[in-house]
Structure 1
Amino acid sequence: MNRRFFSTALALAALSACTQTPARPYLPPSPVDRLGGLMEVSVVDRATGRELLIYRANGEYWVAGRPGARYALRLRNRMGERLMTVMSVDGVNVLTGETAGVQQNGYVLTGGERADIAGWRKSDSQIAAFEFTANGNSYASRTGRPDEVGVIGVAVFRERVAPPPPPPVPMPFPRRDGYSREESAPRGDFEARNKSMAPAPGAAPSASADSAAPAESSAMAQSRSQPAPSLGTGHGRRETSYVGHTTFERLRSSPDEVVRIRYDSRENLVAAGVIPANPAPRWPRPAGPTPFPESEAGYVPDPPPRY
């Protein structure tokens, strides 16, 4: 009995050794749709409504734009609190048109809110659409700022929340060893005196001013080690888009998160090796006949239905 068990164990061990997975060839990281931990960021093709794939290469994230296509930056607040986003395209603040700095004005999203930022803000009710265009026709180049064409930046700030006010001090109970003045007075007068002693409600915070004064920062003005890409973002047609104003006090002066996405045409990204020209299949089949044509399935398949 022991000998049979020992032989079975050896057989199973040998089978396990024979079925080990062969070494896989190196594959580049799979592209993703979104980036960001506090604020989820993606680039949306407005013609199709699809989020563009984001490729990682040499420590950078890239998307492939299509010349003439309009796009939007999709934001989703992943937190349960308000967040502020200072956004730049080609080194220009999309809200104010200034050369971008992280201390400038931005958009505020409530907890869990999603928003599509689809253009350069022109007023409280209009934008000029983002659209991929030739480098020289980009808004940044046309306004004399071509050095940062081809990059999208989102700086995220958490909010400093004031501590809640202390609870009101309870009123003393009347003495029970005799009749107090309150007990002998008419009930209406007693209620009026109680109301006059209640703490006055605090004034509501103003929501008409913008956030901190602009101050250009060098955090978003990194030097480019490669030539400017062939695509930029143009100043497209006017569209209706409404916003309001609110106040926002940043928890700290530096961003809590910065998302950086570079972009260029698909042809240029393929030529640069960012996008594989011929993506290899996950499990490449050898050329020619195979000695085990029925060995593609790795484990026992489910049986067919009874009926």
Structure 2
Amino acid sequence: MKMLNRVTGLIAVLMSMGCASLSAAQVQIVDRATGQALSTYKHRGKLYVAGEPGHEYEIRIHNRSAQRTLAVTSVDGVNVITGETSAVNQSGYVIDAYGFTGIEGWRKSMSHTARFYFTKLPDSYAARTGRPDNVGVIGVALFRERAPCCLEKELRRESDAAGASAPAAQERASADQTSPSRKAESKLGTGHGRSEYSAASYTNFERAADMPNETVVIYYDSRRNLLAQGIIPSHTKYAHRMPQPFPGSFVPDP
């Protein structure tokens, strides 16, 4: 099967802090205005990032395995290459062993993409094409490549060893309770932005299995909304310390 392969000379390899990390890959959402990876917040078993409305972003994927990996990527339930309602059996980007790729936007041709940017739900590409139900989520389905028989066991052992020693995803603890003083705003989605040169080429890739070996799912919304939902801990919460029976000293002026 032919899949898209990013031209490696165009891929940035800057490492940043916020990420979702599994044994086979590391996925980061990078704010292109700052060049920094967005911090991830874990809440009830799910990963979240806070996007800034109007800011362009990039999905950066690091293949940490010793073989090529196919990354079928969706934004708001839409395949980033074909524009179809996403499914794991669709086209994706092929990443070389231990390589990186940066997905900056919706694929328009073999030479251009339309940049991703955070925007209000009605302006999102998914909503504008009649598919608003899955706005607010980024998914990366990872497939290993079918290897020759003599290599399959060796590659599987190496992959298992990498998974055992892989560092945990960097995440921030979230609050279990919502903050009543915060009001939610319009949900955030991903827009169809300005055209950008982004070269790609076709390559052959045979999946080792019909279903992905791993799937990375990252939910996103505005910081204000994540605070209102209790996903980002509020800094206004009381500090955890021992209460004092007589905290005052003298009578203060009125």
Q: For 2:48, which of 62, 65, 69 is the aligned residue? A: 62
The structure whose Rg is larger is 1
Residue 281 of structure 1, CA deviation: 9.7
Q: Corresponding residue for 2:218?
A: 261
Residue 37 of structure 1, CA deviation: 2.1
Structure 2 residue matching 1:140: 3-state secondary structure: helix
Residue 116 of structure 1, CA deviation: 1.0
1:128/1:238 contact within 8 Å kept: yes
Q: Corresponding residue for 1:239?
A: 196
Pick closer, same or farther for the CA change 1:271–1:258 going to 2, 3 Å.
Answer: same
Q: Corresponding residue for 1:97?
A: 83
Residue 80 of structure 1, CA deviation: 1.1
Does 2:118 match 1:128? no
Q: Larger RCO: Structure 1 or Structure 2 (Cα < 8 Å, ≥ 6 residues apart)?
A: 2
| TM-score of the two chains, using structure 2 as the length reference | 0.72
Unmatched 5+ residue regions in structure 1?
1-31, 165-227, 290-307
Structure 2 residue matching 1:246: 3-state secondary structure: strand
Pick closer, same or farther for the CA change 1:42–1:285 going to 2, 3 Å.
Answer: farther
Structure 1 residue matching 2:224: 3-state secondary structure: helix
Q: For 1:118, which of 89, 104, 111 is the aligned residue? A: 104
What CA distance in whole angstroms lies between the structure 1 residues aligned with 2:139 and 2:227?
23
Pick closer, same or farther for the CA change 1:94–1:279 going to 2, 3 Å.
Answer: farther
Residue 162 of structure 1, CA deviation: 2.7
Q: Identical aligned pairs, as a percentage?
A: 49
Unmatched 5+ residue regions in structure 2?
1-16, 151-184, 249-254
2:31/2:57 contact within 8 Å kept: yes
Structure 2 residue matching 1:147: 3-state secondary structure: helix
1:150/1:229 contact within 8 Å kept: no
Residue 284 of structure 1, CA deviation: 5.3
What CA distance in whole angstroms lies between the structure 2 residues aligned with 1:111 and 1:279?
45
Q: Which has the higher strand share?
A: 2
1:229/1:264 contact within 8 Å kept: no
CA displacement 1:242-290 (0-9 Å, x = unmatched): 011101100000100000000000001001000011177998587759x
Structure 1 residue matching 2:215: 3-state secondary structure: strand
1:156/1:257 contact within 8 Å kept: yes
Pick closer, same or farther for the CA change 1:284–1:69 going to 2, 3 Å.
Answer: farther
Q: Corresponding residue for 1:49?
A: 35
1:77/1:83 contact within 8 Å kept: yes
> Where does structure 1 differ by over 4 angstroms across 4 or more consecutive aligned residues?
279-289
Does 2:19 match 1:34? yes
Q: Corresponding residue for 1:171?
A: none
Does 2:250 match 1:250? no
Residue 160 of structure 1, CA deviation: 0.4
